[in-house]
Structure 1
Amino acid sequence: MNSTVATPAKPAAATRPGSPVVINEDANHELAIRVEDLNLWYGEKQALKNINIDVFQKNVTALIGPSGCGKSTFLRCLNRMNDLIRSVRIEGLVEMDGRDVNARNMDEVALRRRVGMVFQKPNPFPKSIYDNIAYAPTMHDLVSRRADKDDLVESALRDAGLWEEVKDILDQPGTSLSGGQQQRLCIARAIAVKPDVILMDEPTSALDPISTATIEDLMDKLKTQFSIVTVTHNMQQAARVADYTAFFHMGELVEYNDTKTMFSNPNTKKAEDYITGRYG
């Protein structure tokens, strides 16, 4: 008598704390960022507690969890944006290419070129569309000749899916664009300096559904070139765009898993309760 046995999900190849519970066979697993025993305090209040996670190259990793659980705080740890807050104290390791990004001799400007950020609310510079893209590469000496700047601006805007909409108005202010266009302009600005990682802090929360869908499609295309870590409160969005999902709760990383597994068969009761809407 023949019987069909379901094939179990493949567990993580490694057992270190930062590994996902289940491996996504279709995802790349070269390491982009390794985080070990990361703790963060705002004054006396601890906001992150013993975070361990491996972020893989050329994937979308979504951070989910209720408001105030530490998602955005963690995201800002990856390019030291929390350094701008005086009361912050950090312990633990955030490592890229074998180097601790919090080391005293780490060049923060160089780090933020490699780990770019797109914020919740579009924030174009008070400059032309062209200069929004060309400014940072020029400051970092990535380009100097006008022809090279022109090529870079076009390339970044094409990668952000915005070129055809703005190619004839490059001298107009970036703030003259619609909200969705402004956010794509900010993405183009981030990728113009050729980063390794792009951080996105709820990049579509202020956008209409059509603009949101455009940004989600863009993320899927961009992950072939960049590693993307995104914070989202939209469960459907995480399920659509992410290869891996990390669930935060009260400053702790409760579960890190293949996204399909996370939303169909989470490994923890807390993650299941959040995903099914029992709290949030």
Structure 2
Amino acid sequence: MFESDKPQTNPPSLDSARSSVRLETIGHLEHKDNNRPVLRPGSPRLHADADAPQVIRAEYFSFFYGSKEGVKDITLDIRPRTVTAIIGPSGCGKSTFLRSINRMNDLIPNTRTEGILAVNGQNVYDKRTHLVNLRQQVGMVFQKPNPFAKSIYDNLAYGPRLQGIRRRGDLDEIVEHCLRDAALWDEVKDDLHKSALALSGGQQQRLCIARALATRPNVILMDEPCSALDPLATAKIEDLMTQLKNAYTIVIVTHNMQQAARVSEFTAFFCLGKLIEYGRTSDIFTNPTHKATEDYITGRFG
């Protein structure tokens, strides 16, 4: 947590919070120390220039479950309108980091953080951060489809109604727009008032993506969104991610190496709670610098 000396009406910016944490000169470099992440040429810079865009920035971010560190000293930038895959063995901190971005981990008792994790330049763990606003900016799609026990229409209209949108015409427009963006409109346009629970698993997951879009976020987090789906439904979700990245920043946790290679432009490899290597997906998969990365990608462990 970071507090300024004087009361502020808004959460402090990343620049003001940065002065409170330990910083080192780490740039576009390969680290010889195995405890440091390897940053490949072409990867998003850890400390970008003012003109270099980033939507999500972590600087020495650590998350604790009691005294146990879930992730340790994570430092990276995620660029807008890209797909970034987070890979690594089970228990390495992938989902912990992902859920920290919109503070889903707040639901777990006895947790704390250190360092900075910022979205759109604002430290999300500042005590003045408005969680509803944060989660409107950062949508979440979970491992298993979780549609509400409501109609297809009401699933999509739920978030906008909470935002104060009441006019039926406005809601109709949002519902159609989001279902089209999720490549689901043509399949359900005549059944909008039927239960969302009657949809197939793949359709339910695309509905959940559409529901996340309805609050107009600029970031979409996906925690193994295809793990419960068949290959055909998985292919549709992957095609959808490719389309959505033109308008949204997507961060996906996946155990599927082929999926990470297909859909992402950047890949971060986590192991034992640490960021080991981060760079362009093509480099990570064809010429990894860190031996642990190569061992994981080639199936020697994990």
TM-score (ref. length: structure 2): 0.85
| CA separation of 1:44 and 1:188: change in aligned 2, threshold 3 A | same
- Counterpart of 2:114 in structure 1: which amino acid? E
Residue 278 of structure 1 pairs with residue 300 of structure 2: yes
Residue 138 of structure 1 pairs with residue 161 of structure 2: yes
Residue 249 of structure 1 pairs with residue 271 of structure 2: yes
- Counterpart of 1:23 in structure 2: which amino acid? G
- Map Cα deviations across residues 146-205 of structure 1 (whole Å, 9 max, x no partner): 011101100000000000000000001111100000000000000111101000000000
- Counterpart of 1:134 in structure 2: which amino acid? A
For structure 2, list consecutive stretches of 5 or more residues without a partner in the other structure.
1-25, 31-35, 45-51
CA RMSD of aligned residues (A): 1.8
Residue 22 of structure 1 pairs with residue 41 of structure 2: yes
SS in 1 for 2:173: helix
- Counterpart of 2:61 in structure 1: which amino acid? L
Q: Distance in 1 between matches of 2:43 and 2:133?
A: 31
Q: Distance in 1 between matches of 2:236 and 2:77?
A: 28
CA contact (8 A) 2:38 2:277 kept: no
Residue 58 of structure 1 pairs with residue 77 of structure 2: no
Q: Distance in 1 between matches of 2:176 and 2:87?
A: 34
- Counterpart of 1:206 in structure 2: which amino acid? A
Q: Distance in 1 between matches of 2:215 and 2:293?
A: 36
What number of residue pairs does the alignment pair up? Answer: 265
**How does 1:209-228 map onto structure 2 within 5 Å?**
209-228=231-250
TM-score (ref. length: structure 1): 0.91
Partner of 1:85: 108
Q: Distance in 2 between matches of 1:219 and 1:184?
A: 10
Residue 155 of structure 1 pairs with residue 177 of structure 2: yes
SS in 1 for 2:55: strand
CA contact (8 A) 2:150 2:195 kept: yes
- Map Cα deviations across residues 48-95 of structure 1 (whole Å, 9 max, x no partner): 110001011000000000000000000011000111111211111011
CA contact (8 A) 1:65 1:233 kept: yes
SS in 1 for 2:284: helix
Partner of 1:234: 256
Q: Distance in 1 between matches of 2:29 and 2:299?
A: 30
For structure 1, list consecutive stretches of 5 or more residues without a partner in the other structure.
1-11
From 124, 130, 144, give the equivalent of 1:107: 130
- Counterpart of 2:205 in structure 1: which amino acid? Q
Partner of 1:3: none
Q: Distance in 2 between matches of 1:107 and 1:249?
A: 31
From 205, 214, 230, give the equivalent of 1:192: 214
CA contact (8 A) 1:48 1:70 kept: yes
